[in-house]
Amino acid sequence: MTLRPAPPDLGIVFSRIDLAHRPWISATWENAAADDAATKLVSESGVEVAGIEPLMSALSGCAIDNAMIELDGLEVPAMDGSAAPFVFLLECAGSAVQDAPRRALEIHSPIRLSEKQGSVTLSPGPGLTLDVACEGRAAAVGRQSWAVTLDKQTYKREVSRARYFDFLELTEDTESQDGRPDNAVTVLGDRIADDRPLRFANEFARQEVQCMIGNLYLAGAPIIGLATARRATRGMTIRLLEKLFSKTDAWSWSNVTRPGAAEIQEPAEAVEKTAAVGA
């Protein structure tokens, strides 16, 4: 994967360079498809990009509005299962302030979506605050919750390092390193595998927050408001965005000041596994 600068107002765009004619697809909710576990992009011609949540979350957390992402396969690299490696590479590459106002999507009235035992809501509020309660599929995780108001440093320290969780049945194969993923927190029955200990006591809830940030960025801009999720799936966040955009009186576009503008560097050249992005 290579991240390259992009002009103002292009947004986040993926290009499948492994396919003929290098088809591209915009990272927007209209192109998103999600099930209970993951989100992917699907173009009208059937081109897909999978595993986008950690990268989209990192782009959101680092305030990157425009980038062209070249991918030589179906999936975004999983790295260590978190958004932290992407944050590191984005910071190494640097970013540039572009000659265009930065816009955000400001929530004016609550929008709620409920399905089965879960719900997700967007409500008015300053900045972006996320309040998540979730439940893992094993006693080792149980019920967890976390609320956070985002800025770039809080995202980097408290959100980006949370990893994907892989729930496995306890067998002879899973007891060994063979057959276990090296980019996830492994849950073996009622315990966490000892070889990759938790980074946070509530890492599962933080990972849910991380993925929600990535999916909300499919709105095409940062959101100003409170996002609340209760046992929500990935797909519910996408369907919430669809419902939001159908209610034109519930939101508006607003120009915002870029956070940390004094710290933004000139862009570096795009190289493999680094990001030179126009922000």
> Which domains, ranges and CATH numbers included, belong to the chain?
2-99+264-278 (3.30.230.20), 103-256 (3.30.1700.10)
Q: What average pLDDT does the segment 11-36 reach?
A: 94
Lowest-confidence segment of 47-61, 166-180, 210-224 by average pLDDT: 166-180
For residue 138, what pLDDT is reported?
A: 86
Q: Considering only CA atoms, give the Rg of the chain.
A: 18
For residue 174, what pLDDT is reported?
A: 54
Sort 61 into a burial class: Cβ within 10 Å, 0-12 / 13-18 / 19+: buried
Strands (E), the chain: 2-4, 12-16, 24-26, 32-34, 39-42, 48-50, 67-71, 95-96, 102-107, 111-115, 118-123, 128-135, 143-149, 165-168, 185-188, 191-192, 223-230, 251-256, 277-278
For residue 176, what pLDDT is reported?
A: 54
CA distance 119 to 112: 7
Q: Residue 138 corresponds to which tokens in the numbers above?
A: 């094993």
For residue 274, what pLDDT is reported?
A: 31
For residue 201, what pLDDT is reported?
A: 95
- Per residue in 34-70, pLDDT (tens digit) is 877 789 999 999 999 999 999 999 999 999 999 999 9
CA distance 250 to 54: 28
Q: Using DSSP, state whether 82 is helix, strand or coil.
A: coil
Q: What average pLDDT does the segment 1-16 reach?
A: 96
pLDDT of 76 > 80? The answer is yes
Q: What is the mean pLDDT of the chain?
A: 88
Global pTM value: 0.89
pLDDT of 220 > 60? The answer is yes
Instruction: Give, in order, the Cα–Cα distances in Å from 6 to each of 10, 13, 35, 98.
Output: 7, 9, 30, 10
Number of Cβ within 10 Å of residue 260's Cβ equals: 12
pLDDT classification of 262: cutoffs 50, 70, 90: very low
